[in-house]
Chains A and B, each alone.
Chain A
Amino acid sequence: MKGKIIFVVILVAIVAFVSNQVLIIDKGTEGQYTGVVAFDASAHSGSDWEKISAEIISNAVDINAINLSELGAGKAIKFKGTVNEFTSKAGGKRNTMTVTPEGYTGNMTFTVQLGSIYSGTAIRDVQTVKQFGDFTNQTEWSQYAKALNSQLDKEVVAPLAINESIQGKTINLTGAATASGNAVTITPVALTIE
């Protein structure tokens, strides 16, 4: 009996102490207390997009003027070409098209990413508006790449509502290209259909 009373007293004391030593705030409002602003990659990509797309467009070189095996991690390129085949995967979330650039005679295949999900970090790696050092860590740096990709989808690709009907048409494309083996992957920055 005595032991139980002591136990209850200790328990009550703990509860009283702990409930006195707690700060209760509304969920998600930590920033107001800590002064730390959560990183929002889309805010960066939103404000940077105009500069980045202008930079890539002005730096873009014609695809026939460069050695494609030296594309590496990414280069800004542009060309006029014919769409061969439109492919839609993952329930329309991974659309791509294969293209043949005008005047190209090599054996590389050209695939253009059409979203809404884009692989890789080509846009981020080609641009020079923001550097890795502008961010706190590599997580933010990779979030920035993703945010740029969704920004380009919103600004460039989605408004065109591309579907199978694009096959056979001629396009003007500017974008960031990467190469792996014989495959060149292009993430578009400007795209017009003739």
Chain B
Amino acid sequence: MKKDNSQLIMTLLKGRTFIVLILLIIFFSFASPSFLSLNTLTMVAKHVALYGILALGMTFVIITGGIDLSVGSVVGLVGMLAGGLIQEGLTIGAKTYYFTVPAIVVLMLCIGCLIGLVNGLIITKLNVAAFITTLGTMYICRGLANLRSNGATFAAIGGYEGLGNVGLKALGADFMGIPAGVYVFAILSIIAAVLLNRTPTGWHILAVGGNEKSAKLSGIKADQVKIMTYVISGFCAAWIGLINTAQLSAAHPASGDGWEMNAIAATVLGGTSMSGGSGTIIGTIVGAFVIGVINDGMTMCGVSEFWQKIIRGAVIILAVVIDQTQRNLQAKMALQARNESK
């Protein structure tokens, strides 16, 4: 009887983020009558996509026991570089290069990967703590973003037909009523879930996070795996840089400031352990939705921005406390099961 009880609690705990999400949606539907409308849900999804995509990359990094604080700055830097390429082109010597939007997207994704690669190399090859490394690249990228235009904004980024660089707006537009960012979020989520759960690479990432030493001893190239997670994170951040710029039709060097924290919050809410070794993509997606629903819901109910911060912080701490409780309970149950089988 007692066992059944604890099993029920386990199930509830495992699905807690999802339950919280449902409760939040129900709560806000009552608190603000217009919350449960197609328009609002589309808007929430649009916002969720922004830090959801960042959180996807963050999930991989955190599973290996690392952290990537640079993603917010990468968003700003990529936005500025993309905006600059469209508006001013790339001038080398006496020639100016104007890239088409698909080429700019590819280039910016490469930039994101490159920053991730630098992060990963410094962390693994020079043995610098991930927190410090990415804190450093966070500042560097933000500085570079400001340097690109001397702190000014690239406004009205539309491109010119004659230069063949129109079309970035598509990344910020709606298709069949759903924002493009949400499609990108969905596609990247599927790729991430398959990568993590269905490929050897995914198992390697989980193994490195669980126990790096034994992963190494069993022949996994732990350094390569770690570097790859930072590359993935940079890749995701570059997408957000592009989508954010497209949605605003402008690039500001301070955009994306602090977004890494939303991504970390979504990841942790989704049940990914900060100490590494466990985490799921679906958890992160639900976590991102929880953050999104809390943010937009509170705004719609007229809760002040200051209170929003306090509530958001409390929710994150609560999530980790419950996470810890679950782990303890799990360990206890495993012990119980072992004793019974004896």
Contact = CB atoms under 8 A, between A and B. Distances in A.
Nearest to B93: A27
A30 B96 contact: yes
Nearest to A28: B96
B97 interface: yes
Contacts of A17: 102-103, 106
Interface residues of A, number: 18
Interface string B279-306: 0000000000000000000000000000
A91 B206 CA distance: 69
B227 to A, nearest CB: 12
A13 B96 CA distance: 23
B171 to A, nearest CB: 16
A26 B98 CA distance: 11
Given A26-B94, A27-B91, A27-B94, A18 B163 contact: no
Interface stretch (A31-39, A106-114, A141-149): A31-39
Contact of A34 (B93, B100, B103, B163): B163
List the 7 closest A-B pairs by CB distance, nearest first. Answer: A33-B162, A21-B103, A34-B160, A21-B100, A23-B98, A18-B103, A34-B162
Contact of B103 (A22, A26, A32): A22
27 contacts: A14-B106, A14-B110, A17-B102, A18-B103, A18-B106, A21-B100, A21-B102, A22-B97, A22-B99, A22-B103, A23-B97, A23-B99, A23-B163, A23-B164, A23-B165, A24-B97, A25-B89, A25-B96, A25-B98, A25-B163, A26-B94, A27-B96, A30-B96, A33-B162, A34-B161, A34-B162, A35-B160
B95 interface: yes
B95 A33 contact: no
B98 A22 contact: yes
Nearest to B103: A21
A34 B91 CA distance: 17
Contacts of B103: 17-18, 21-22
Contacts of B91: 27
A52 to B, nearest CB: 31
Interface of A: 14, 17-18, 21-30, 32-36
A69 to B, nearest CB: 39
A34 B107 CA distance: 23
Interface string B146-165: 00000000000000111111
Given A17-B106, A25-B96, A35-B160, 8 more contacts: A17-B103, A18-B106, A22-B100, A24-B97, A26-B96, A27-B94, A27-B96, A30-B163
A24 B116 CA distance: 30
Interface string B232-276: 000000000000000000000000000000000000000000000
Contacts of B165: 23
A7 to B, nearest CB: 11
Given A34-B162, A35-B162, A26 B102 contact: no
A32 B163 CA distance: 10
B36 to A, nearest CB: 42
Interface in B43-102: 89, 91, 93-100, 102
Interface in B89-132: 89, 91, 93-100, 102-103, 106-107, 110
Contacts of B102: 17, 21
A33 B100 contact: no
A36 to B, nearest CB: 7
A33 B107 CA distance: 23
A18 B162 contact: no
A24 B93 CA distance: 12
B332 to A, nearest CB: 43
Nearest to A34: B160
